[in-house]
Amino acid sequence: MQPALMPDHSDAVDSAFMRLALDQAHNAWLLGEVPVGAVIVREGKVIATGFNRPIGDSDPTAHAEIIALRQAASLLDNYRLPGCTLYVTLEPCAMCAMALMHARLDRVVFGARDPKTGAAGSVVDLFSEKRLNHHCVVLGGVDAQACSRLLQDFFRERRRQTRPEESARAQPDALPNSVKGIDVQHLDDVEEPSAD
C-alpha cells in the first residue's frame, strides 16, 4: 500500500489509512481487547500506531488514540502534534477527544459512531465546543461499515463464548479471550455502534 503517493485529504487517502487503523483494531481483538485501532499520519506517512488495550495494560486510559498519541509525541519529541491526522476506527470518547485537542492535531478521522460514549457528536461534541480553545477538523463515517462490523463480530463472538452451554462444549483452546475477563471496558458502550 502506498497511501503516501496519493494526494492529501482525498477520500481514497482517508480510506487507505482507515484500513491501517482497522489492522490495528484486529491486533486488539487477538489480545482479547475490544477492537479499536488508530494510526497517526504526518506528511503522508504513518508515524504512530495504537490499539485498544486497557485490560492487558491494566490501564483505563489505554485507548487506541492515547497509545498512538504517546508514540507520535515521543517520536517527534514534542508534546504537540501539529500537521498530523489521526485515524481511528471508532468515534473518540471524551478523554481521547480532549487529548487530541491538547496535542493540537490538525485532523481527526473516525469510522463508526459510538452512540454511548462518542464525543464527536454522538453524545457530546467536544470538537465543536466554542469555549475550548483548539479545534481539530473532524470527519466521521469513513469506512464506517467495516469498522462497525468488526465491533459487532467481536461482541457476537464474545457472547457466543460466554454462553454457558456453549462454553461447556467448546474446546479450551477456543476460549482465549475469555481468560482476560468478561467485564471489558466499553463492552456495553459500543455493543451496537451505528454505521452512519
**Active-site amino acid positions:** 65
Asked whether position 186 contacts Zn ion by CB under 5 A, the answer is no
> What is the rounded CA–CA span in Å between residue 33 and residue 119?
21
User: Which range in 68-76, 88-96, 104-112, 176-184 contacts Zn ion by CB under 5 A?
Assistant: 88-96
Residue 151: which of 29, 53, 38 has the closest Cα? 29
In this chain, which of 13, 90, 93, 109 binds Zn ion, going by CB under 5 A? 93
Q: 176: how many CB neighbours lie within 10 A of its CB?
A: 12
Pairing of strands 37-42, 84-90: antiparallel
Binding string to Zn ion for residues 40 to 79, with x set by CB under 5 A, is what? -----------------------x----------------
CB 68 within 8 Å of CB 41: no
Residue 16 or 96: which CB sits closer to Zn ion? 96
Cα 79 to Cα 53: distance, rounded to the nearest angstrom:
22
119 binds Zn ion (CB under 5 A): no
**Closest distance of CB 185 from Zn ion, Å:** 10
Least spacing, CB of residue 130 vs Zn ion, in Å? 22
Closest by CA position to 40, among listed 71, 77, 80: 71
Residues at the contact surface with Zn ion, assessed by CB under 5 A: 63, 93, 96
